[in-house]
Chain A
Amino acid sequence: GENVEQHPSTLSVQEGDSAVIKCTYSDSASNYFPWYKQELGKRPQLIIDIRSNVGEKKDQRIAVTLNKTAKHFSLHITETQPEDSAVYFCAATSGGGADGLTFGKGTHLIIQP
């Protein structure tokens, strides 16, 4: 089945700086890569996703890049703000999605004022 590795587990950045979270996946057939944000005590919420036929996608301060050859994808947050503090999870489908979305173990992003 799919295996998703996520790094770093904790990331602390100064407010206004950029943050980058990286994930690798094992199944070359994976074709859908969402990112979820989970604030303390709240539900995970989809913030951006990318499909395997696209290399990059942007939504305001958030962008995701995908390198299919290397089997890795990254989340980029620019001009970080205090409300960006949360746990971020990457995920990938295994071939055909039959095994369910496989999630990384999460990155705790801390925005220092």
Chain B
Amino acid sequence: EAGVTQSPTHLIKTRGQQATLRCSPISGHTSVYWYQQALGLGLQFLLWYDEGEERNRGNFPPRFSGRQFPNYSSELNVNALELEDSALYLCASSLGTYRDGEKLFFGSGTQLSVL
């Protein structure tokens, strides 16, 4: 069974540009979560999608957005890139939501570098 897959592996952009990151959850998983892992800051919760809808977002500005498609894959968009957006962006999926205690499985991430 394939795990959570993310693309691209690496992405290099310049300030002010837009970045699009993609995630395919484990087959059968309906919930997708996005986390930002910046150096020394651990994993910061960005967005949570379930059944095609945004269920919650973390403390990030509106230029971080995304969506979930009917096949449960997801896309994270970051507009007007800033230098401090450089980080590893991790996608995770679960069968349900962890409010129900479902385990979270992570992808390998997209390393975004903003120059």
Say yes or no: A101 contacts B107, CB within 8 Å.
no
Say yes or no: B42 contacts A105, CB within 8 Å.
yes
Any chain A CB within 8 A of the CB of B20?
A: no
Please name 7 pairs of A and B residues whose Cβ atoms are closer than 8 Å in the assembled complex, sorted by A: A43-B106, A89-B42, A100-B33, A101-B104, A103-B35, A103-B44, A103-B45
When A and B form their complex, what is the total count of cross-chain residue pairs whose Cβ atoms lie within 8 Å? 59
Chain B, residue nearest A103 (CB):
B43
Within the complex, which residue of B43, B58, B99, B101 is in contact with A44, where a contact is CB–CB below 8 Å? B43
Which residues from 57 to 109 on chain B have a C-beta closer than 8 Å to any C-beta of chain A? Answer: 58, 90, 97-101, 103-109
Residues of A within 8 A of B2 (CB): none
A89: min CB distance to chain B, Å: 6
Which residues from 44 to 101 on chain A have a C-beta closer than 8 Å to any C-beta of chain B? Answer: 44-46, 49, 51, 89, 91, 93, 96-101
Say yes or no: B106 contacts A100, CB within 8 Å.
no
Q: Are A34 and B42 CB-contacts (below 8 A) given A43-B109, A98-B56?
A: no
Residues of B within 8 A of A6 (CB): 42
Say yes or no: A32 contacts B45, CB within 8 Å.
no
Say yes or no: B98 contacts A32, CB within 8 Å.
yes
Residues of A within 8 A of B90 (CB): 43-44
Any chain A CB within 8 A of the CB of B41?
A: yes
Say yes or no: B103 contacts A34, CB within 8 Å.
yes
Say yes or no: A93 contacts B41, CB within 8 Å.
no
Chain A, residue nearest B3 (CB):
A43
18 additional contacts, CB 8 Å, given A43-B90, A99-B58? Answer: A6-B42, A31-B101, A36-B106, A43-B106, A43-B109, A44-B90, A46-B103, A49-B103, A51-B101, A89-B43, A91-B43, A96-B99, A97-B98, A97-B100, A99-B45, A100-B33, A101-B45, A101-B104
Q: How far is the CA of A97 from the CA of B98 in the complex (A)?
A: 6
